[in-house]
A and B are shown apart, each in its own frame.
Chain A
Amino acid sequence: MEPLIEYFYYILQNIINALQRGSFYAVISIGYSMVYGVLMLFNFAHGDIFMVGTYIGFGIATVFLAVLTGLVPPPVIFLATVVVTMFLASWIGVFVEVAGYRPLRQAPRASAAITGLMIGIIFETTILIMLGAKRLSFPPLMEKVNYHIGGIYITNVKAMIIIISLLLMLGLHAFIQKTKWGMAMRAMSYDFLAVPLMGVSINIIAPLTFAVGAGLASVAGILYGQAYPILDPYMGVLLGWKAFVAAILGGRGSIKGAALAGYLLGFIEIFVATVFPSTLRDFIAYSIILIILTFRPRGFFGMEHSTKLRL
């Protein structure tokens, strides 16, 4: 192969790598932004909600694979796993809102913010106590096929992760733009004082927001289990923090911004390691983000009014 073409493939391969990584950041960081839009605080338990969602997905997938294999084709099992997991994980989101945030709605913002951290630790230790510290291996929901196209390698799993993440985000966009509930969420993020006066209760919209965020995170968890099939109770911590960085970078409360920043973060991480020695990856990647924030303190799509917030 000519060096130039080889280099082109090399870049293309890394774009695919970055799209996969970025998909996870994007889908998870949306959860931060949605909650921020409605409650004006960051749900620091979100990384651990993702983790619990992954474990739920693991349980459902194991059961479905054991019961349904042979009866229905694999894509149906996959779809059933996603739907059931999403449903169950939504209740985790509702639980976090009702048990963790609602009692502290009038409390100082800082107290509400650290509630999330504590719920996160409670989730981690609960899983640890229930399942032990042993690593679990997420069962593959489809047979992996590796395609070699030109100079690049792409598996069907990778392609599926990228496509499903995009579909999820499009679905969420439709939900927020087209439905009554979505409109209520947008209204709440625009003015959280006036909207309850119009008869839209925060006690319905807030849990709904958490539920949607948790549902998305759990699907991300299933996809994560396909790409990186090793589960441990602390898997949500680092990913949660990085997705949080993406949420800030995208602009607080902006769902579009969170999604784009998630992909950007994936690209920065992958390409920094491509160009520079990988030892310097996080150092350079997060320095770049710091510089971006210095020039755009509100992130890419941060709204003007979000600066007079209480946190």
Chain B
Amino acid sequence: MRKIAVLTVVAFSVAMFFSSLAFAARKTIIKIGINAPLTGDIPKVGEGTKYAAQMWLEDIEKAGGLEVGGKKYDVELVIEDNESKAESAVKANTKMISQDDVLAIIGPQSSKQAVPAGEVANKYKTVMISPWSTNPDTTLDRPYVFRGCFLDPFQGPVVANFITDEFGFTKAAVLYDVASDYPKGLAEVFKDAWEAKHGEGSVVAYESFTTKDTDFSSQLTKIVKSGAQVLFTPQYYNEVPLIVRQAKDLGWEGPIVGSDSWGSAELVELCGEACHGLFFSSHYAAAGAKGDTKAFIDRYEKTYGYTPDDVAALTWDSLQLAQQAIQDAGKLTGRIEKDREAVRDALTRIENFDGITGKMTFTEEGDPIKCAVIVKINNQGEFEFYSSSCP
């Protein structure tokens, strides 16, 4: 009898010991999900995302973990490839939320994936910060979804104002991909902003194509004939070189202006001299950066051998935001649902966050208020700061 009692006590304490170990082990790891287009249409964007995230993780590891409420936690990145497809981005988010138990998700980058993926994150009440998605729908009515950049409706007027002030033009043409959320949204906003400035019908050609098209000759012939003075094309870096070259072949002589989707390190590599001297709106400009931004650029260049594009910079800022929110949450309970909620609440409270792409404060929708930059591609093919525009 006595023996049994002793055994029971021993067994119980052993069980207690292990269970507390298990409990502790589960609690000391924070997982952050990265939803990035590592393959597919825009792999360079995925690469920049991954590299920025790895740099961030390096810093955390150097500090011996992430300190939350006086306790150090190990951080683990869960990097999922969304193949630059909407359905894969949704799948990646679902997996990271339900299987990997991530505390927060960074990504997806383009609106095409971020809009549907945000739906999932919001449904499962997990904080998602899309560093690069500028479509309003990404965060609209989704308390758990945030972004690290400004919105399309902001970028449209910025570009329209810039063209008007810089060149004094009154007639514009637009060429965009009708099958992709981001270019379509931005083209519409630009058209509205331009026509509000220069009157109805001042967008003299409003032409479209569909994703994967490579021949824009009929649209561009129309645009050349329309008498437009400037061409606005909010396309991605894999399409811009084709558009720019074909336009020049068809006798286009005016400026071609783009949006932040141009800002990839690969654009100039693919486009060459044809793109020199063109302008686009963006989140930051690498040439001529100062302070923390410069430190980030130098470190990235040293590690990966090329200048980081805006995606990398925004991903970096988004991770810093997530980090601060996790730290501000005060204390992690180990119960993932509760912790996710605490992180969300902390994120909404962040004010004047000093990121490398500018100061940020979130609106109620989870959109930051920050400035846009007009970048000029100079004759060395670098992205140079030209002017800036704040709301």
Contact = CB atoms under 8 A, between A and B. Distances in A.
Interface string A1-27: 000001000100110011011000000
Given A153-B251, A278-B208, A279-B178, A135 B270 contact: yes
B40 A13 contact: no
Contact of B217 (A6, A17, A132): A17
Contacts of B41: 232
B105 to A, nearest CB: 22
Contacts of B272: 137
Contacts of A155: 249
Interface in B203-223: 207-210, 212-215, 217-219, 221-222
B324 interface: no
B370 interface: no
A282 B210 contact: yes
B248 interface: yes
B39 A133 contact: yes
B142 interface: no
Interface string A229-244: 1101011011000000
A91 to B, nearest CB: 27
Contacts of B125: none
A232 B39 CA distance: 11
Contacts of A134: 43-44, 266
A228 B219 contact: no
Interface string A115-132: 000000000000010001
Interface in B225-263: 225, 238, 241-242, 245, 248-251
Given A134-B44, A146-B248, A155-B249, A279 B218 contact: no
A178 B215 CA distance: 36
Nearest to A134: B43
A21 to B, nearest CB: 5
A137 B269 contact: yes
Interface in B265-320: 266, 269-270, 272
B242 A228 contact: yes
Contact of B39 (A128, A227, A238, A279): A128
A148 interface: yes
Contact of A21 (B217, B250, B251): B217
A270 interface: yes
Contacts of A17: 215, 217-218, 221
B238 A230 contact: yes
A135 B266 contact: yes
A274 B222 contact: yes
B270 A133 contact: no
A135 B238 contact: yes
A46 interface: no
B221 A228 contact: no
A235 to B, nearest CB: 8
A137 B270 contact: yes
B218 A278 contact: yes
Interface in A149-208: 153, 155, 158
A273 interface: yes
Contacts of B269: 137
B208 A274 contact: no
B40 A230 contact: no
A271 interface: yes
A191 to B, nearest CB: 40
Contacts of B332: none
A6 B226 CA distance: 12
B336 to A, nearest CB: 33
Contacts of B251: 146, 148, 153
Contacts of A133: 38-40, 43, 46
A54 to B, nearest CB: 12
Contacts of A269: 218
B209 A228 contact: no
Interface string B319-351: 000000000000000000000000000000000
A158 B266 CA distance: 26
Nearest to A273: B218
Nearest to A7: B225
A144 B208 CA distance: 27
A234 B207 CA distance: 25
Given A137-B270, A229-B241, A278-B208, A146 B214 contact: no
Given A134-B266, A238-B212, A278-B208, A10 B221 contact: yes
Interface string B110-122: 0000000000000
Given A228-B215, A278-B209, 13 more contacts: A10-B221, A17-B215, A17-B217, A132-B43, A135-B270, A153-B249, A155-B249, A228-B242, A229-B241, A229-B242, A230-B214, A235-B214, A278-B207
16 contacts: A10-B225, A13-B221, A17-B218, A128-B39, A133-B46, A134-B43, A134-B44, A148-B251, A155-B249, A228-B242, A230-B238, A230-B242, A232-B41, A274-B218, A274-B221, A281-B218
